[in-house]
Amino acid sequence: MINRDRLVQEFLELVAIDSPSGDEDAIAEELVRRLEAIGVEASQDAHGNVLGRRPGVGEPILLSAHMDTVEPGRGIQPVFDGPDIIRSDGTTILGADNKAGCAVILEVIRSANEDAAETRPIEVAISRGEEIGLVGASNMDYSRISARVALVVDSGGPPSSIQGQAPYHFTYSIAVHGRAAHAGVEPEKGVPAITIAAEAVLGMPQGRIDFETTGNVGTIHGGLVRNAVPEECLIEGELRSMEFEKVDALVSRARAHVDEVRERHPDARIDADFHMGYPGYKLEPGDPAADLIFGVLGGLGLTPDPHPVGGGTDGNVFRGHGISSVVIGRGGYNQHTKDEYLVIPEMLQCAAVLEAAVRRTG
Ligand SMILES: [Zn+2]
User: 108 and 74 share a domain?
Assistant: yes
User: 34 and 88 share a domain?
Assistant: yes
pLDDT score for 241: 95
The Cα-based distances of 38 to 1, 42, 114, 222, 326 in angstroms read: 15, 10, 10, 53, 25
pLDDT score for 308: 87
pLDDT score for 311: 79
Cβ 78 vs Cβ 87: under 8 Å: yes
Distance 44 CA to ligand 1 centre (A): 20
Distance 266 CA to ligand 1 centre (A): 46
Distance 281 CA to ligand 1 centre (A): 18
User: 202 and 121 share a domain?
Assistant: no
> Is there a catalytic annotation at residue 68?
yes
Buried (b) or exposed (e) across 196-212, using 16+ Cβ within 10 A? Answer: bbbebbeebbeeebeeb
- Dist CA 302 CA 295 (whole Å): 10
Domain with 139, as residue range(s), is: 4-166+280-358
Contact residues for 133 (Cβ-Cβ < 8 A; gap 6+): none
Distance 66 CA to ligand 1 centre (A): 7
User: 74 and 116 share a domain?
Assistant: yes
User: 94 and 173 share a domain?
Assistant: no
User: 189 and 235 share a domain?
Assistant: yes
Across-strand partners of 274?
172
Distance 31 CA to ligand 1 centre (A): 17
Distance 151 CA to ligand 1 centre (A): 13
> Is there a catalytic annotation at residue 130?
yes
User: 241 and 188 share a domain?
Assistant: yes
Q: Which of 260, 278, 296 is the last residue of a domain?
A: 278
Q: Could you tell me the pTM of the whole model? A: 0.87
Residue 190, phi then psi, degrees to nearest 5:
-90, 160
Distance 183 CA to ligand 1 centre (A): 49
Distance 235 CA to ligand 1 centre (A): 28
- Dist CA 356 CA 235 (whole Å): 47
Q: Which of 10, 24, 123, 130 is the catalytic position?
A: 130
Number of domains in the chain: 2
Contact residues for 195 (Cβ-Cβ < 8 A; gap 6+): none
Count CA atoms within 13 Å of residue 344 on its CB side. Answer: 21
Pairing type for strands 232-241 and 168-177 reads antiparallel
Distance 215 CA to ligand 1 centre (A): 23
Q: Which of 10, 24, 45, 68 is the catalytic position?
A: 68
Q: Which of 278, 299, 315 is the last residue of a domain?
A: 278
Helix (H) / strand (E) element for 106: namely helix 96-115
User: 111 and 11 share a domain?
Assistant: yes
User: 43 and 141 share a domain?
Assistant: yes
Mean pLDDT by 10 residues, the chain (362 residues): 98 98 98 98 98 97 98 97 97 97 98 97 98 95 98 96 92 98 97 98 97 96 97 97 95 98 98 92 92 96 90 91 96 96 98 98 82
- Dist CA 191 CA 187 (whole Å): 8
**Cβ neighbours of 71 (radius 10 Å):** 12
- Dist CA 336 CA 92 (whole Å): 9
User: 336 and 187 share a domain?
Assistant: no
Longest CA–CA span in the chain (Å) reads 82
User: 12 and 139 share a domain?
Assistant: yes
Distance 99 CA to ligand 1 centre (A): 9
Distance 254 CA to ligand 1 centre (A): 31
User: 9 and 124 share a domain?
Assistant: yes
